Structure 1
Amino acid sequence: MIDWPIAELLPHAGNMILLDGVLRFDDDSLEACATVRPGGPFNDPDGSLPAWAGVELMAQAIAAYAGCRARREGVPIAMGFLLGTRKYSCNVERFPAGSRLTLRALRSLEDESGMGVFECHISGDGLQAEARLNVYRPPNAGDYLAHVQETPHD
């Protein structure tokens, strides 16, 4: 397991952090672990996570990958954005409370503008989910957000 605290790798805070830690990291991939804990912002009343929350778990694995890269390169953790997902499939309707999950994110494309595509997988006891996530990490997220807020929307 990587010794870096997960809270230092993600631009999330408090109960928005769904991952427990990073198991492995290399130039193109990350493997992380998570335990489904009741009382989080996405949990159902029985403590389970709905299957759609798998996309957030995958996005956090990608953010942890970016955080590990930033930490290795000695630069600050930067904010990124989930643009969308393709072909999300999950063999369960919910991840039961107490489930121990393994997440894998494999970078399949990344360009200089900050656009990236990752193949992501979640596995656990009888659980399987997979998707391709499109992400964007602008060079300066603060400037990007200010520009988006100033742009008129119809």
Structure 2
Amino acid sequence: MAALLSAEHYLPHATPMVLLEQVVAVSDETAHCRVRVSGDGVLAPFLNADGQLPAWFGIEIIAQTIGVWSGWHARQRGDNELRPGMLLGGRGYRCSQPVFPADGLLDVKVTLLMHDEKIASFEGEIMVNGEPCASGRLNTYQPDDKELIQLMQQDSNS
């Protein structure tokens, strides 16, 4: 297996919207990423005055870990262009605390539950400093080129 690159190599996002730092592992059905809640890291623009990250960011962090899974697989197929995905919804997202603590190390793991050409469902979990903190099931959609063009045209007409 080739060496893993940082998260931005697998996501169609640009700074400051990449909320992950390290890709730890990717397999056929799982992905594992990390990010530290730090004033000098990628999460810095989103921290509160105490250097903490609001827990609702966990949904996007899990979604981006799914994006890393998708982007890694696209790269393995030889696709040079990363395709944006859409979060259709989340089910049962729960976090045991209102914020992720300053200097906390977030380990984010996703497991594929179901996947077809366009729709996928993943179970996601966030551990903070090795302790379970947040989890939920996220459903995603990967539009094809025609759908992307239609979405972009609708967006520009708004």
Q: 2:122 aligns with which of 118, 125, 130?
A: 118
Q: 1:151 to 1:119 in 2, by over 3 A?
A: farther
- Structure 2 counterpart of 1:66, one-letter code: S
Structure 1 position 42, deviation (Å): 2.8
8 Å CA contact 1:2, 1:21 repeated in 2 = no
Q: Identify unmatched segments of 5+ residues in structure 1.
A: none
Q: Please give the alpha-carbon distance, in whole angstroms, between the structure 2 residues aligned to 1:111 and 1:24.
A: 22
Relative to the length of structure 1, the TM-score reads: 0.88
Structure 1 position 144, deviation (Å): 4.1
Structure 1 position 151, deviation (Å): 9.4
- Structure 1 counterpart of 2:56, one-letter code: W
8 Å CA contact 1:19, 1:60 repeated in 2 = yes
- Structure 1 counterpart of 2:114, one-letter code: L
Question: What is residue 63 of structure 1 aligned with on the other side?
Answer: 67
Q: Identify unmatched segments of 5+ residues in structure 2.
A: none
Stretch moving more, 73-82 or 41-50: 41-50
Q: 1:2 to 1:31 in 2, by over 3 A?
A: farther
Relative to the length of structure 2, the TM-score reads: 0.86
Secondary structure at 2:58 match in 1:
helix
Question: What is residue 21 of structure 1 aligned with on the other side?
Answer: 22
8 Å CA contact 2:4, 2:25 repeated in 1 = no
